[in-house]
Chains A and B, each alone.
Chain A
Amino acid sequence: MVIYGVALLAVCLLAGVLLGELLGTAIGIDANVGGVGIAMLILVLVVDYLKKNNKLNIKSQEGMAFWGAMYIPIVIAMAAKQNVVAAVDGGPLALMAGVSAVIVSWAMVPLLSSIGKDTSTLSDEELGGSDDVRNIK
């Protein structure tokens, strides 16, 4: 059932965020340390395990694929609620700091990507990250 996929997602998110909070408390800072990243890792591992054991049916996968496909619309809603006025009002210091940080970071991507490089390609089976929810079959 679709809800199984959605529930699996929810449990992974909650587990990850909880671990992130605990990690933050453990190292003494008032922030969630990588909770969403941890949740994603848990999901990748769980899905990998379930798929190998044929425990994940198409309907459950659709529950996850739907939310993966909703990601871009949610990002657009997120863009529409940013404090763009404050960013623009920050003046030349904020503008220069932000823009320089981005440009230098961009320049470093090819450098760091080449560490220990070997050929890497996207796998053919893409469900959640893809635009098309229905390309499951």
Chain B
Amino acid sequence: MFEILSDTFVENGLIVSFAVVGITIYLSYMISDKLTNGKIHGSAIAIIMGLVLAYIGGINTGGEQGLADIGIFTGIGLMGGGMLRDFAIVATAFGASLDEIKKAGLPGIISLFAGVIVSFVIGVVIAFAFGYTDAVSLTTIGAGAATYIVGPVTGTALGASSEVIALSIAAGLIKSILTMIGTPFVAKYIGLDNPRSAIVYGGLMGTTSGVAGGLAATDPKLVPYGAMTATFYTGLGCLMAPSVLFLVTRTIF
């Protein structure tokens, strides 16, 4: 009996994930409504629940894909993977207005460069405070503070140790998770309520998953604006970190 159930789940992985995510969202909106009086947005709670499930999955399997490493939940990996995410993210642009994008053009571009450089410098400073003094390690951890993709790309390009690369990925993951969870809570303090600031937000934070998740939990209408700049961030980071930023770091240290 249990085997039949398990087989059915495994064979219909993507369908299982639709059901699991739907139920998670339902429960989250109920918690949002009943326990927080709607003060904490349902999607913010759902994202936190997702992260908790990922932690449980990771602890139980020792894998790298959170809940998706558990046999009957492999469909979560497909649903939350890059392909469908990119497809749905592009679909959100359907609700974006061309005029708003044009208006935020310059601040968007400035925020992209500022975002990469500021995160990088912070990463380098903290790595230095923890005792790293060689330019390669400092650059790699600085790049990780940008995003968890820029970190390993830079580390591999410069020949950093795997320990340092792992640290850079962890720093990027922390950034992404905190952005997902924290955005709805800081939104009103930083004026994150219009397309212009959302475009700036995406450029500054960079982490596509963090920005998109955080904005979705704040106000879904802002997602396309933030996501649009955020998707350029990783490319810019991969371009700048192993080249210009590495040379600057090497000159200083």
Interface residues of A (CB under 8 A from B): 9-10, 12-13, 16-17, 20, 23-24, 27, 29-37, 39-41, 43-45, 47-48, 61, 64-68, 70-102, 104-110, 112-113, 115-118, 120-123, 126-131
Contacts and interface: CB of A to CB of B under 8 A. Distances in A.
Contacts of A16: 90
Given A122-B195, A128-B95, A9 B55 contact: no
Nearest to A88: B55
B76 A77 contact: yes
B228 A41 contact: yes
Nearest to B125: A100
B21 A110 contact: no
B167 A115 contact: no
Contacts, number: 362
Given A29-B239, A81-B81, 5 more contacts: A31-B234, A33-B235, A73-B18, A75-B212, A113-B197
Main SS class of interface, A: helix
Contacts of A81: 54, 65-68, 76-77, 80-81
Contacts of A39: 86, 90, 93
Contact of A97 (B59, B92, B174): B174
B245 interface: no
Most A CB atoms within 10 A — which of B76, B96, B146? B96
Nearest to A78: B80
Contacts of A122: 100, 194-195, 221
A127 B96 CA distance: 9
Nearest to B196: A120
Contact of B235 (A32, A85, A90): A32
Contacts of A29: 153, 235, 238-239, 242
A84 B67 CA distance: 10
Given A105-B119, A109-B204, A97 B127 contact: yes
A92 B170 CA distance: 10
Contacts of A89: 170
B204 A105 contact: yes
Nearest to A79: B50
Nearest to B204: A105
30 contacts: A23-B235, A27-B239, A29-B153, A37-B232, A40-B227, A67-B91, A71-B91, A71-B220, A76-B47, A76-B49, A78-B85, A79-B180, A81-B67, A84-B58, A93-B171, A95-B174, A97-B122, A97-B171, A100-B145, A101-B122, A102-B179, A106-B190, A109-B190, A110-B190, A110-B191, A123-B100, A128-B93, A128-B224, A129-B95, A129-B223
Given A81-B66, A93-B141, A128-B95, A101 B87 contact: no
A77 B34 CA distance: 24
A30 B118 CA distance: 23
B246 interface: no
